[in-house]
A and B are shown apart, each in its own frame.
Chain A
Amino acid sequence: MPSLISPAERDYILKGIECNIRADGRQRPDYREVILETGVISQTSGSSRVRLAGGTDVLVSVKADIGPVLVDPETGEGADKGQIICNVECAPSASQQFEGRGADELNNELTQMMTRFLSHNTTTLSTPSSTTSSSTAASNNNGAGGINLSKLCIIPGEQCWILYVDALVLDYGGNLVDAVFMGTRAAIFDTRIPKTEVQDLGDGNFDFEVLDDAEDTEVVEGREDMPICVTLNKIGARHIVDASPLEELCTEAKLVVAVNRSGELCGLQKGQDGGIEPSLLLEMIQFGKTLGQTLIKQLDAKIKAEAEADMIKRQNGQPVVKLGFFAQ
C-alpha cells in the first residue's frame, strides 16, 4: 500500500477515470474478479476466504460460543438476544504500513463499521428513494445486519450464543471494506451452530446440553438478509467502485453503502475529506444499491453451488477437499 502518489500519476488516474478507463483497463463501475471459498478452516463454525484479483486477501472466521446475554440496563432489552462480536485485524504482512501499530486505526475503523452494520440494532436507514421497501427489514425485528439475534438466545435472560466474527486481512490490494464484508457474509453463510436442548430443572432453573454431532446443526437465521458493502470512491467529478490502492490515494470522498438482497439500505458511511454534492450523493447511493444487489445475487449463487457440490460428494462417499491455501 503506497502512501504517497506523484502528481503526474494522480493526474493520469484522474483523467483516465474521467474518460471511463482506469489504469488496469476497467471501466468505472467494474468490479475486479472475486475469488471466494467457504469452509476453509475446519475448526471454526464457519469460515471463508475472499480475494480480489490484484491483491486483497481476507480470511474470515466465525466461532460460535456460549456466554451470558447482554442486557441494556436502561431499556432492559437484549435479554432474549444473542450477540455478534466483530473484530478486524490487518496482518502486518499485508502492507508495510501495517507494521507495528500502523494498522491500529484501520483495524478500529473496520471493526466499528462491521459492528455497526451487523449487530447494531438500528432499523434500516431509509433514503428518499427507498422509504417503502425499508419497512420489511425493520418489521421482522432483525437488526440492520439481518441476522435474527433472538434465535441465538438459548435461555432467555441467561445464556446465548455469541458469534465471534474475526476477519484477518492477509494482503492489501485496495477496497478492503467490500472484501471484508463479502467474506463476512460468506462466513456467516457457512456457519453451523450446534443444536441445544434446554432442560427444565424445575424451580425456574434451566440447563442445556450441546448436541455433540457436528452435522446436527442449524444455520444462522437471517443470513440471507445480511448486507454487503459497496465502496464508491469519488475521484474528480466521477465515482468508481472497487478502487485499487493508487486510486484510493486519489479519492477525494468515499462512500460506503451497505445494502441487502432486497435492495434495502443498511448502512452508510462517508470517508475522506472531500465533499459530495447532494445530487451525486443520491446517484452514488442508488448505484451502490443496484451494484450491491447484483453482487449478492452472484455471491449467493456461488455459495449455493459450492454447498451443493459438497453435498453430492459426501453422499457418494467422496472426500470433500477444500482448496484453502493451496488455491492459486
Chain B
Amino acid sequence: MLRQKAFMKKTKSGKVLKVVKEHYLRDDIWCSVETCKVCEHSEPVLSAVPSINKAYRLPHYIIPDTNIFINQIDVMEHPLITNVIVLQTVLEEVKHLSLPIYQRVRDMIANKEKRFYVFSNEHHRGTFIEKLKDESPNDRNDRAIRVATKWYGNHIKDLNPRVSVVMMTDDAGNRDKATADGLQAISVKWYIEALDNAEILDMMSSAKDLDDGQKTIYDEHLSAAHVSNGIKSGKYLQGKLGISSHNYLEGSIYTKINGEEGTILIVGRSNLNRAVDGDIIAVELLPKSEWRTTPTGVVVDEEEEQAEEESLKAEQEAAATAAKEDALDTPQPCGKVVGIIRRNWRQYCGFIDRKSVHTPAGSSAPVNVLFYAMESKIPKIKIRTRQAHSLLGKRIIVAIDSWPRTSRYPIGHFIRALGEAGDKSTETEVLLLEHDVPFHEFSKQVLSFLPVEGENWVVQPEHFAGREDFRSLNVCSIDPPGCTDIDDALHVIPLPNGNYQVGVHIADVTHFVKPGNVMDQEAASRGTTVYLVDKRIDMLPSLLGTNLCSLRSNVERLAFSCIWELNKDAEIVNVRFTKSVIASKASLTYEEAQNRIDDASMQDDVTSGIRILNMLAKKLKQRRLDMGALTLASPEVRFSLERDTQDPVDVEMKELKETNALVEEFMLLANISVARKIYEKFPDSAMLRCHPQPPSANFEKLEKAVARFGIEIDHSTSKTLSDSLDNAVLPEEPYFNKLLRIMTTRCMMQALYFCSGAQIEQEFRHYGLATDIYTHFTSPIRRYSDVMVHRQLHAAIDSSLSYGDELTDKEKMNDLCGNLNHRNRMAQQAARSSVELFTHLFFKNKTEEEEGYVIRILKNAFIVLVPKYGIEGIVYASAKVSKTADSGDAAAQPQPILVYNPETDCLQSTETLAEGETPKTQVQLFQKVMVQISIDDDLKGGGEGGMRQKLKMELLKPWIEGISVHGISNKDDPEAHAVTSKKREEAPVQAQDKKRAGKRTKA
C-alpha cells in the first residue's frame, strides 16, 4: 500500500523545496512478543512475562512517548525498566531533538537484557496515520503513539499468560485522550513511585519541582536568531567558556576582538549568567571603564564568594578612577554572557554537600541537596534525592537538567553512585570519568580483529614479503623499568668508510591494526594510552601492546625501521625507511644500559653499540641545543607503591640518566626524518606536530620577577630563550635554575597535532625542539598519531600500496587531529590527577615541613611549589576565619593581611609606606619559604571524610602574623599556644599585630 509524505525544505540558497516521498505500508512488521503466535518473528525481543508494577494488575509492556526519553533517559536506562516498545515515531523524534540521547536509546536497544523493541509503526498498515488538517505535528505524533498503543493492546489481548500495554507520558492532555480511547496511560512519576525504589526515584529528572519560582536572579538569554545575528554583525563575540580553576565565578573566552585574538574575562555570577564551563557562549563586551586590571583572586567558599563579589564592585569603581593614572597597566577586556549557543553539559562526578542535608539520618523523604562537582570549575548543582544520607561520603554522578532564571544553581538529578570517597579505586574511576578517558574493556568486536593465533603468533615466512631481514643485527631496546610495551629498539654498525649505520626500529603496529576496522576505530577514539600511577589504560588490546607488537628481546618481531648513515659528527649522510623483521638481543632498562656503558669490562657487541650510540647521541644533542632546543623541566615524581595494596610508601623525584637522552635523541631524529618524508608525499594531509611560539604576554610576570635578580629572559626565539635560561644561575640558590625552567615550561604553548594542509609552512615549527618540522612516529603502541604516521610513511615508501582516503582527506585528518589533541590533553591531566591522588594518599595522616618556592602570586593568595614532592599548594594571604569556632561570627569577613601590589607583582603588608620605603613584609615570586604540608579534609561538603581532598599548605617561614602557623615541631611549646589563642581574640585589632609581625620577620 502506497502513501505519500510531503514536507517543505528551505535550501541554503534560500529556495523552497517541497519534498515528496513515497511511503510504503507493510503488513509484515511483527509485534515481537514471545508468546504471540500470529506474528512470524524469529527472535522475539519482548518477554512473555514483562515488567510488573503495583499500579497495574497485569504484566505489561511500556510504550513511552518522546519526552520520556528526552527528559528521563537516566530512568529509562535503569535496569528495572525493561520490556519497552520504542515506537519509530518516538525514535525519530528523539533523533531529531537530541543526538546524544538518541545514541543512548540506540545502545539500550542493542542491549539484549533491556528488551527494548523498536516497532516500526510508521510503516505498519494498522498503525500508520496521516496528519490531519489543523493538527500540529506533535498532536499527530501523540495520536500515532495512541494508535500504536491501541493496536498493540488489541493484538496481544488474547495471549496467554495475559499481558497488556501501558502508554507512558507526562503530557496530561495526551493521557486524558488515551483514557478516552480506552488505553492505559501513566506518567513516569506515578509509575516510578509505584516501583518503590529509592535509587530510580532519584534519577527522575525533576526540573519543575525544584524551581523556586520566586525571584529571577539572572538575565534572560537572547534568542538563537538574535545571537547569531549579533555575532555576524560583530556586536557579540562567540567562544568556548573556560572557567578559572581557582575561581568558579571567573571565566574567559579566547576569541577575536576587533580582528585581534585575545581573551575576554567574564567575572561574577550575573555576568556569567548560567554559563557552565565548556559551553559555547555569546558574549557582549562591557564598557572599557569596567575592565579589570588586577589579577585573579581565589574563591574558596560561599561566604568569601560574597565578599569577593562585593570587593569586585568596589574594585571596578576604583579601577574606573584609577584607569587614567594607571595608563601603563593595560586592562583586560571584560564581558558578560548574553546567550548560550551550545550547552556542553555532561555528567559530573562529585559529592553531596553535608551542610545542605537537613533531614535526620535514616530519613528517606525526598530532600533538595546541593552537589559539589569534583571539578571546581562547575557550580554547585541542586538535586533532589531520597537517599541523601546513604549517599553522604560517597562519590556520585549527577547530570544537569536545566538552569532556570529563578534558580541560583543549576538543577540536576542523581545518576549513580561510584563508591566511597577516598577509596583508591573509586577515586581512580572518578578521575578517569572526569577526564573523559574511555576505560571500558575492549569489546568482543574489537578483540575479534586480533590475530587468531593469539599468544602463539609468530613471524611466518610470508611476513618477509616486502620486509628486510634484520634478525642478525644487534638490536636492543632501552626503556624505563617495568616497561612492557616496548615500541622502539636501536642498532648501530660501524661502516668501512668510518661512518655509522644507525637503525631505529619501531613496533609495526599497523601490520595488525588495519585502517577502518573496529579495533582501529576504537584506538582512534582512545587516541592514546593513559598512564596513571598504579595502572595503565591501553589504547590497544594488551595482546598487541605488550606482546605481539612489543619489541621484546629474543623473539622475532615485525618492525618499521628508519636507517641512517651518520658520519662521525652525527650528521645524516642518507636515510631510508623500510618494513623489517628484527630480533632484539636485549631489552635493557636505562639503568642497565648506563651500567653497561660505565662498566669497562663489558665488551660485547651490544654494549659497544650502546657506547657508539651514546657518543653519537651526545653530538646530536649538542647540535640540537646549538640550534636553540630548550631544556625545560617539570617537577615529576615517582611513587614507590606497596606491592599488595598499591598504596604509596615513598615519593621521589624522577631521575634522568644519560641513557634517557640517548634514546630520546634517536627518537627525535627518527621523528624529524619521517616528518619530512610524509610531508613530501602528502603535502596536504600529513599528520605533523607543531609547537607554537609562546606569546610575549605569557612571559610578562616571569620577566618582572627575575629582573629582581638582574636576570633577563629573551624569549624572541627558542635559541635566545635557551641561552637566557642557561645563564640564569644564582650561585647561592642552586635550585633557582631548575625552578626557572619549571616556570618557563608553564609559559609555553601546548604542542599540537595538525594536518599539514591546514596550516602554512612557517607554522609547522616546533619551538621547543627548534626544528622546522616534526611528527610522532616512534610510539605507535601508545599513540594513535604514530599509527597514522606509520600508514602515511608506508604509503610514501611503497608506491604500489593502495590506501583509502583516511590518509589523504584533509577534513578527516583535521578532525582526527582535533580528537587526538583533546585525548592527549585529557590523558596528561588524568595522569597529573592520578599523581595528585597518590600524593594525597601519601600525606594522609602525615604532616611534613618542607622547603618551597613561591611560583605564582594571586590577589589574595600565593602558590608554593615544593620540589621534593613536586607538589604545589595555595597559601592564603587572608586571616583564617575559623568557621567552626566563630560560627556565630560568620559575618566576619576574612581580613586581608597582605595585599596585592600590581606594580611589583607581590603581596605586601598593608601599612602605609613612605616614598621609596620597602614594605616590612612581602611575598614575591621565587621567594624561598618553609611550609607545612598536610591534607585538608573538610574544605568543602561540610563534613569528615574529605569529600574534596586538598593539599593544605601553611606558611611556617617567614612568620607573618595571621597567616603563618606554628609547625608541628613546636606544638608542645606553651608559648606558641598562647600566641595562637591570643591571635583569635585580637582579630579586630589587626594593626598592632602587624607591627609585631613585622618585627618578628626582621628578627
Contact = CB atoms under 8 A, between A and B. Distances in A.
Interface of A: 42-45, 64-66, 159, 194, 199, 201-203, 205, 207, 209-216, 311, 314-315, 317, 319
Given A42-B20, A44-B18, A314 B132 contact: yes
B18 A45 contact: yes
A209 B132 contact: no
A42 B15 CA distance: 18
Nearest to A319: B3
B6 A42 contact: yes
Contact of A202 (B10, B128, B230): B230
A194 B15 CA distance: 12
B25 to A, nearest CB: 9
12 contacts: A43-B20, A66-B16, A201-B225, A202-B230, A205-B233, A207-B229, A210-B10, A213-B8, A214-B7, A214-B18, A216-B136, A311-B133
B423 interface: no
Given A213-B7, A215-B135, 9 more contacts: A42-B4, A44-B18, A199-B223, A201-B229, A207-B225, A209-B10, A314-B132, A319-B1, A319-B2
Nearest to A194: B8
Nearest to B131: A215
Contacts, number: 67
B229 A65 contact: no
Q: Which of A43, A209, A315 has the most C-beta atoms of chain B within 10 angstroms of its own C-beta?
A: A43
A210 B16 contact: yes
B229 A212 contact: no
B9 interface: yes
A209 B229 CA distance: 14
Contacts of B233: 203, 205
Contacts of A205: 229, 233
B140 to A, nearest CB: 9
A199 B15 contact: no
Given A202-B226, A203-B229, A210-B10, A317 B129 contact: yes
A319 B229 CA distance: 44
Q: Which of A45, A211, A215 has the most C-beta atoms of chain B within 10 angstroms of its own C-beta?
A: A215
B748 to A, nearest CB: 42
Contacts of A209: 10
B19 to A, nearest CB: 8
B710 interface: no
B841 to A, nearest CB: 56
A308 B136 CA distance: 20
Nearest to A311: B133
Interface string B691-730: 0000000000000000000000000000000000000000
Contacts of B130: 314, 317
Nearest to A214: B6
A194 B16 contact: yes
Chain B interface helix/strand/loop/mixed:
mixed
A267 B128 CA distance: 48
Contacts of A315: 132
Interface in B127-159: 128-133, 135-137
A215 B133 contact: yes
A66 B129 CA distance: 31
Nearest to A318: B130
Given A213-B137, A215-B135, A43 B10 contact: no
Contacts of A216: 136-137
Contacts of B129: 317
A212 B7 contact: yes
B14 interface: yes
Contacts of A314: 130, 132-133
A276 to B, nearest CB: 45
Nearest to A44: B18
B43 to A, nearest CB: 31
Q: Which of A45, A194, A315 has the most C-beta atoms of chain B within 10 angstroms of its own C-beta?
A: A194
Contacts of A210: 8-10, 16
Contact of A212 (B9, B15, B225, B226): B9
Interface string B106-133: 0000000000000000000000111111
A194 B19 CA distance: 12
Given A66-B16, A194-B16, A201-B229, A212 B1 contact: no
A256 to B, nearest CB: 33
A95 B7 CA distance: 37
A214 to B, nearest CB: 4
A311 B130 CA distance: 11
A97 B3 CA distance: 40
B14 A66 contact: yes
Contact of A213 (B16, B20, B131): B131
Interface string B860-896: 0000000000000000000000000000000000000
Contact of A199 (B20, B133, B136, B225): B225
Contacts of B1: 319
B226 A201 contact: yes
A65 B16 contact: yes
A65 B7 contact: no
A201 B14 CA distance: 17
Contacts of B8: 194, 210-214
B728 to A, nearest CB: 54
A43 B133 contact: no
Contacts of B3: 319
B15 A66 contact: yes
Interface string B216-245: 000000010110111001010000000000
B785 to A, nearest CB: 42
A65 to B, nearest CB: 6
